[in-house]
A and B are shown apart, each in its own frame.
Chain A
Amino acid sequence: MFKILKSLSNSLGGKSAAKKQAAAAKPGSLLDKVNKGAPVAKPEAPKTPEELCGLDPKMDKDQVLAQLKLLFRRYNRSASSLDAQTRHQAEKMLDAIVQMREKHFGEI
């Protein structure tokens, strides 16, 4: 696997850190893509906890647990974000993750 440092100057046009937010607001900019919250929790499409956690009936127990652990790490981190929206979304995801753990592995 190669690692390539892609030129970021094209997409961001040499903006200073102070202008980061303005850059983030521009559609299609790199930071925009990076900073956007998870697409999984869009409010317009209510999803089941399974869908939120990306669980597939074909997954075996180990795969389910691995997926839940990955999501827990991810959303536990977002739960301490300074952005209230991100935090709210993370809480919803954490609830779904816990529900799925209980469903597949029983209550603690």
Chain B
Amino acid sequence: MAEYVGIDLGTTLSGLAYLKPDGNPEIVPNSDGERLTPSVVFFDSHEDVKLVGSAARDGGEPDRTIFQIKRYMDDPEHLVDIDGKKWTPAEISALILSKLKRDCSKICGDITEVVITVPANFNELARKSTIAAAEMAGMTVKRLVNEPTAAAVYYAHSQGVKGRVLVFDLGGGTLDTTILEVAGDQIKILTSEGARHLGGSNFDDILLEAYAEQYRKQTGTALYTDERHRRRVLQATEDAKKMLSKLQRVNDTVANDQNSGIARIDLTRVEFEAMIRHMLTRTVFLVEQAMDSVNLKPSDIDHVVLVGGSTRIPKVKQLLEKMFGKTPKSCGNVDECVALGAALFAKKSAKIQEVCNASYGTLAMIYNAKTGEEKLANSIVIPKNTPIPCSRSQVYQTSEDNERVIEVDITQGEDEDAKFIDVIGRITLEVPPNRPKGCEIAVTFSYDENQRVRALVVDKQSGRSKEVAVSYKGAGVLSPEELKRRSAHLRAMRIE
């Protein structure tokens, strides 16, 4: 049996690693002989089989091929319809995890308990869906760990570094950046910031537009009219993008599927860099945001570590080099280090100090004594980046006479402006009658190691209180019975 197993369930690629008896992690290849498995699922129409990986990615039926399901893990309404059956993102992910489990256990032994990585800014529903996916695939999740944390654990292990490290993870779908402190095998996370919808597939889309424009110029017709052909060209643009990480210029030819002729594409690295420049500027903003939130300057960072396939783009490295005045390092294979770090984390989780991923608070009228102004605002009780586990309180006053019910809205988000945060729940507390305004109410939030949040509201005068777990319970979360049923169903499926 493989005791310490880590899985990187990526948007584009997924990988599994286990800890060898010598304490070093190793990637376990799948049955197709690949170290990483494309996170793509294909539902065959002839045979009752689900293909996962390269075979699925390279097949030709877009209606039956699911790419990048991870982008929807937090969307309770996203369902994939195949032959009338509706699949949730968790179920599609479970198919990918099933393949990894089945294939890899042939090499490293039975896999029952795993650590799975998630983007640092994955919300509660996305985290729950990930855990559900693993359970459906017949594995117990020992812990979820943030992807940049896992990468840093691997980096610290393999390079023996010390000091403040900034991990820059630019993958296929997202950008994550984390700052942490490494001292021996103790790791302290300082902060994480992420950007959804900022990654390699955005670059592919931008290139696709350029290809289509060239095609129209040269032939006067559209490069693609259906999804199947769009996919094909998209694959070609991704290949061209990768070539441009090595070469200054690539030549390509493209055709549509209507015999409208062939167009020559001539593309230089400089042109490509100009096309993605706006996206890259966003990455600079995000890195600055991470540093600002912990009051650090570029010179305070000792090492910049590259993670994710898109950091192979030379411009990305140059940008970071310019920003930090030092050459960014990569820990071996940039697409494997998250899985490798997760396997290490499975054993060492106790030595890693994490922080709150978001701020929690409540809506309150905030009175400014200087200006006399009163406005509704997000009042933060527990700020993002507070080391966990932790607990914080804030005392408020009621603003009306004779209030019988105190309602506390629970907010998530850093913005003071209530328009830009999420109200994720509410606590209602009944209080005794006939009280004047100005009664004190204490609101306490506590945060445990698993990023679970609890909120407690206490009416100081009467001592009445109410405590709730601040968690996502709405649509998209399966009941334990339903989870068991689907898990049994999945185990009987042919997945290759």
Is A78 in contact with B420, judged by CB distance below 8 angstroms?
yes
Is A69 in contact with B419, judged by CB distance below 8 angstroms?
no
Give complex CA distance A34, B423 in Å: 9
What 1/0 flags go to B356-400 for Cβ under 8 Å of A?
000000111111110000101001000000000000001111111
Which chain B residues numbered 269 to 294 have a C-beta less than 8 Å away from chain A? 277-278, 280-282, 284-286, 288-289, 292
B44, CB-defined interface residue at 8 Å: no
What 1/0 flags go to A1-35 for Cβ under 8 Å of B?
11111111110101001000000000000110111
- Interface residues of B: mostly helix, strand, loop or mixed? mixed
B418, CB-defined interface residue at 8 Å: yes
Measured CB to CB, the closest approach of chain B to A92, in angstroms, equals 12
What 1/0 flags go to A44-59 for Cβ under 8 Å of B?
0000000000000000
B110, CB-defined interface residue at 8 Å: no
B195, CB-defined interface residue at 8 Å: yes
Measured CB to CB, the closest approach of chain B to A88, in angstroms, equals 12
Give complex CA distance A99, B278 in Å: 8
In the complex with contacts A9-B407, A77-B420, A4-B282 CB distance below 8 A = no
Give complex CA distance A3, B395 in Å: 8
- Interface residues of A: mostly helix, strand, loop or mixed? helix
Measured CB to CB, the closest approach of chain A to B229, in angstroms, equals 26
- The 8 Å CB contact of A72, one of B289, B369, B376, B399, is B289
Is B396 in contact with A36, judged by CB distance below 8 angstroms?
no
Is B376 in contact with A79, judged by CB distance below 8 angstroms?
no
Measured CB to CB, the closest approach of chain A to B218, in angstroms, equals 29
Give complex CA distance A30, B403 in Å: 18
Is B362 in contact with A5, judged by CB distance below 8 angstroms?
yes
In the complex with contacts A36-B419, A101-B281, A73-B367 CB distance below 8 A = no
Measured CB to CB, the closest approach of chain B to A70, in angstroms, equals 9
A85, CB-defined interface residue at 8 Å: no
Give complex CA distance A30, B419 in Å: 11
- The 8 Å CB contact of A108, one of B280, B365, B379, B418, is B280
B121, CB-defined interface residue at 8 Å: yes
In the complex with contacts A14-B405, A98-B282, A31-B399 CB distance below 8 A = no
Which chain B residues numbered 415 to 441 have a C-beta less than 8 Å away from chain A? 415, 417-420, 423, 425-426, 428, 441
In the complex with contacts A5-B362, A9-B405, A30-B397 CB distance below 8 A = no
Measured CB to CB, the closest approach of chain A to B476, in angstroms, equals 11
Measured CB to CB, the closest approach of chain A to B275, in angstroms, equals 13
Give complex CA distance A66, B285 in Å: 11
Is A79 in contact with B423, judged by CB distance below 8 angstroms?
no
In the complex with contacts A17-B426, A95-B278, A4-B415 CB distance below 8 A = no
Is A74 in contact with B420, judged by CB distance below 8 angstroms?
yes
Is B365 in contact with A6, judged by CB distance below 8 angstroms?
yes
- Residue of B with least CB distance to A71: B285
A67, CB-defined interface residue at 8 Å: no
Give complex CA distance A82, B75 in Å: 7
What 1/0 flags go to A91-108 for Cβ under 8 Å of B?
000110111011000011
When distances are taken between beta carbons in the complex, the residues of chain A under 8 Å from B75 are: 82
When distances are taken between beta carbons in the complex, the residues of chain B under 8 Å from A33 are: 376, 418-419
Interface residues on A, range: 35 or more
What 1/0 flags go to B185-217 for Cβ under 8 Å of A?
000000000011100000000000000000000
Is A5 in contact with B415, judged by CB distance below 8 angstroms?
no
Give complex CA distance A37, B403 in Å: 31
Give complex CA distance A98, B284 in Å: 10
Is B396 in contact with A69, judged by CB distance below 8 angstroms?
no
B453, CB-defined interface residue at 8 Å: no
- Residue of B with least CB distance to A36: B419
When distances are taken between beta carbons in the complex, the residues of chain A under 8 Å from B197 are: 79-80
Measured CB to CB, the closest approach of chain B to A36, in angstroms, equals 6
Is A102 in contact with B281, judged by CB distance below 8 angstroms?
yes
Is B281 in contact with A98, judged by CB distance below 8 angstroms?
yes
In the complex with contacts A9-B405, A69-B288, A79-B196, A37-B399 CB distance below 8 A = no
Is B419 in contact with A77, judged by CB distance below 8 angstroms?
no
When distances are taken between beta carbons in the complex, the residues of chain A under 8 Å from B398 are: 4-5, 7
Question: Quick one: which of B77, B277, B286, B407 has the most chain A CB within 10 A?
Answer: B407
Give complex CA distance A97, B399 in Å: 39
Shortest 9 CB-CB distances between A and B: which pairs?
A5-B396, A80-B196, A6-B365, A2-B367, A7-B400, A72-B285, A6-B399, A98-B281, A8-B407
Provide 17 A-B residue pairs closer than 8 Å at the C-beta atoms, listed in order of the A residue.
A1-B367, A3-B364, A5-B364, A5-B365, A7-B399, A7-B406, A7-B407, A12-B407, A34-B376, A34-B423, A35-B423, A69-B289, A77-B414, A77-B420, A80-B196, A95-B278, A108-B322
Given contacts A3-B394, A5-B398, A80-B196, 7 further A-B contacts (CB under 8 A): A1-B366, A3-B366, A4-B365, A80-B121, A82-B77, A98-B282, A108-B281
B interface, CB within 8 angstroms of A: 74-75, 77, 121, 195-197, 277-278, 280-282, 284-286, 288-289, 292, 319, 322, 362-369, 374, 376, 379, 394-400, 403, 405-409, 413-415, 417-420, 423, 425-426, 428, 441, 443
A interface, CB within 8 angstroms of B: 1-10, 12, 14, 17, 30-31, 33-38, 68-69, 72-74, 76-80, 82, 94-95, 97-99, 101-102, 107-108
